[in-house]
């Protein structure tokens, strides 16, 4: 039995890496992080031309019909380059609205661009929450993703249903997080009528969390690669610091922790693709585990860089903060483990 990526999957990831190396250089990420709309448009254009919007849409609706594992490979590449992208929101929307062919066709054609406002599925905050009453949505959702340029917003309500609403019917206010590579918004609804309403299965939230884990995987791998490269060139006491046993151990421990995490994500994605009943549980465990491993790698890589690790010159902080926000995005490690326990029947 072959436990490796197919040739097509390797080509997909390698091709996207080539696009991102050019379109998501560190210089461009720096400009995007301070709000340069022009540079953001260049990156968006490159990813649109690559065809990411159609990746998770079935072939019958005009998409490529790829699966969760392919989506994870894409999200890992995006995380490696800390590239802002609508891909996660698009993939989750395509999964959640799988029964609506007209919506899927619009997603594949790039006509429907979705944002995610799913705070209600992971946490409740004072003064926030969206409710459906009389066929209209009212309330507020925090930390909505990919709102900039969106035509539609996928909103979760307090009862567990998800609704597609026109972005024009929502009020949006920017929210600032430590991660400046992505934008987050507060979405306010005041009597907006849903265009489509669904009650998604557990696999949809599982896919969303798994993609966040894959993003962390890519960011953590980048931090390891940067630490190793720095250790090979930085000299102390007439020797490169990579020759010191303590630094070798730090780099080796990061790699030893991250590599099994990659296998965990691949296994969870494959289980989702074949509709294995353990898929949602494994995806939630992957989200929780990558949050912990990513935090360790972010801290250790920064330590390998010494004082340089905290400077903007190296830019390591973009990956560090990306991992930090991913830890809480769509549910903390504790919440993901709670969901996994519920799916196994271990808790009520």
| Among candidate residues 151, 142, 203, the one with its CA nearest the CA of residue 329 | 142
Range of the domain at 241: 202-343
Q: 106 in a domain, yes or no? A: no
Among candidate residues 154, 177, 198, the one where a domain is terminated: 198
The SS3 assignment for 184 reads strand
Q: 108 in a domain, yes or no? A: no
pLDDT higher than threshold 90 for residue 257 = yes
pLDDT higher than threshold 70 for residue 63 = yes
Residue 307, pLDDT score: 83
Same domain assignment for residues 246 and 300: yes
Instruction: Give the residue, 129 or 280, on which the prediction is more confident.
Output: 280
What's the total number of domains in the chain? 3
What mean pLDDT do residues 35-46 have?
95
Which phi and psi (to 5°) does residue 340 adopt?
-60, -40
Q: 109 in a domain, yes or no? A: no
Q: 149 in a domain, yes or no? A: yes
Same domain assignment for residues 214 and 308: yes
Same domain assignment for residues 207 and 301: yes
Same domain assignment for residues 218 and 334: yes
Same domain assignment for residues 136 and 237: no
Pairing of strands 114-117, 152-156: parallel
Q: 2 in a domain, yes or no? A: no
pLDDT higher than threshold 80 for residue 156 = yes
Residue 2, pLDDT score: 64
- Please state, for a pLDDT cut of 90, what percent of the chain lies above it: 89
Pairing of strands 152-156, 196-198: unpaired
Residue 234, pLDDT score: 85
Cα–Cα distance measured from residue 148 to residue 130, given in angstroms and rounded to the nearest whole number: 20
Q: 29 in a domain, yes or no? A: yes
Q: Which band of pLDDT confidence, cut at 50, 70 and 90, is reported for residue 38?
A: very high
Cα–Cα distance measured from residue 23 to residue 33, given in angstroms and rounded to the nearest whole number: 14
Among candidate residues 166, 198, 230, the one where a domain is terminated: 198
Residue 3, pLDDT score: 72
Cα–Cα distance measured from residue 25 to residue 31, given in angstroms and rounded to the nearest whole number: 10
Cα–Cα distance measured from residue 283 to residue 269, given in angstroms and rounded to the nearest whole number: 7
Q: 193 in a domain, yes or no? A: yes
List the single range of 235-239, 286-290, 297-301 with lowest mean pLDDT.
235-239
How far CA 310 is from CA of 31, 169, 189, in Å, comes to 19, 42, 40
Residue 313, pLDDT score: 84
Among candidate residues 71, 87, 103, the one where a domain is terminated: 87
Instruction: Give the residue, 121 or 64, on which the prediction is more confident.
Output: 64
The SS3 assignment for 60 reads helix
Same domain assignment for residues 166 and 240: no
Q: What is the Cβ-side half-sphere exposure of residue 12, based on CA atoms within 13 angstroms? A: 20
Same domain assignment for residues 264 and 334: yes
Q: Which residue has the tokens 């567990």?
A: 160
pLDDT higher than threshold 90 for residue 243 = no
Same domain assignment for residues 212 and 120: no
Cα–Cα distance measured from residue 117 to residue 155, given in angstroms and rounded to the nearest whole number: 5
Q: Which residues pair with 162 in a beta bridge?
A: 156, 198
């Amino acid at each position: 039995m072959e436990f490796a990526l197919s040739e097509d999957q390797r080509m997909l990831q390698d091709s996207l890496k080539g696009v991102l190396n050019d379109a998501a250089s560190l210089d461009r990420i720096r400009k995007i992080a301070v709000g340069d709309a022009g540079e953001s448009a260049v990156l968006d254009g490159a990813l649109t031309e690559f065809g990411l919007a159609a990746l998770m849409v079935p072939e019958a609706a005009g998409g490529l019909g790829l699966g969760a594992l392919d989506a994870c490979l894409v999200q890992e590449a995006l995380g490696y380059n800390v590239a802002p992208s609508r891909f996660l929101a698009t993939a989750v929307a395509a999964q959640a609205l799988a029964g609506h062919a007209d919506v899927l066709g619009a997603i594949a054609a790039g006509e429907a661009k979705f944002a995610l406002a799913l705070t209600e599925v992971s946490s409740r905050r004072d003064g926030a929450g969206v409710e459906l009453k009389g066929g209209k949505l009212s309330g507020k959702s925090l930390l909505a993703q990919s709102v900039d340029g969106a035509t539609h917003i996928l909103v979760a309500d307090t009862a567990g249903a998800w609704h597609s609403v026109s972005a024009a019917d929502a009020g949006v206010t920017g929210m600032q997080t430590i991660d400046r590579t992505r934008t987050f918004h507060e979405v306010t609804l005041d009597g907006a009528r849903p265009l489509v309403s669904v009650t998604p299965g557990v696999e949809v939230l599982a896919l969303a969390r798994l993609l966040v884990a894959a993003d962390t995987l890519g960011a953590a791998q980048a931090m390891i690669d940067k630490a190793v490269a720095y250790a090979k060139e930085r000299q102390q006491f007439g020797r490169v610091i990579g020759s010191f046993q303590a630094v070798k151990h730090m780099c080796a421990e990061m790699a030893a922790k991250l590599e099994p995490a990659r296998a965990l994500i691949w296994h969870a994605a494959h289980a989702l693709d074949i509709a294995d009943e353990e898929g949602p549980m494994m995806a939630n465990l992957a989200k929780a585990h990558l949050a912990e491993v990513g935090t360790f790698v972010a801290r250790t890589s920064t330590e390998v860089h010494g004082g340089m690790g905290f400077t903007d010159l190296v830019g390591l902080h973009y990956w560090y903060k990306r991992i930090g926000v991913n830890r809480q995005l769509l549910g903390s490690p504790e919440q993901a483990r709670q969901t996994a326990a519920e799916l196994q029947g271990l808790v009520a």
